[in-house]
Amino acid sequence: MALAGATTFIVVNAIAGFAVFLIAASSNDTTVAKVLLALTAVVSAASAFGGGWLLIRRKRPMPKGFGMGLMIGWSLVTVCTAGLCTAINPELYTSMFGMAR
């Protein structure tokens, strides 16, 4: 179930993250793009760790494994993409998409 949770997070994050990056890149206002990316980072982490924590608390093996998988999936995506796909990379907020400091 941990593998299923990690895979689920990776697939959902890829679809949602792609949509968010398209919207942020097409925005003319850098403040809106930065807020959208920050909101994405918070929602991504909250869904993985909040949802994972709630599933782990159920004390049954299948939900517990899936919850751990969500957390593992977030960690793998963050490490393997240097934080780009979970929106925690500081480069997203400074120079990417033409956003100047």
Residue-wise pLDDT for 13-42, tens only, equals 999 988 988 888 887 877 888 888 889 889
pLDDT(92) > 60:
yes
Closest CA to 77 of 91, 64, 89: 89
d(CA 19, CA 58): 32
Domain ranges of the chain: 2-98
**How much is the pLDDT for 96?**
57
d(CA 53, CA 75): 14
**How much is the pLDDT for 98?**
53
Q: Give the three-class secondary structure for 32.
A: helix
pLDDT(8) > 50:
yes
Give the whole-number percent of the chain exceeding pLDDT 70.
Answer: 91
Position with higher pLDDT, 13 vs 97: 13
Contact 70, 5 (CB under 8 A): yes
Distances (CA, A) of 88 to 28, 59, 74: 21, 31, 11
d(CA 20, CA 33): 9
Q: For residue 49, what is the DSSP state? A: I
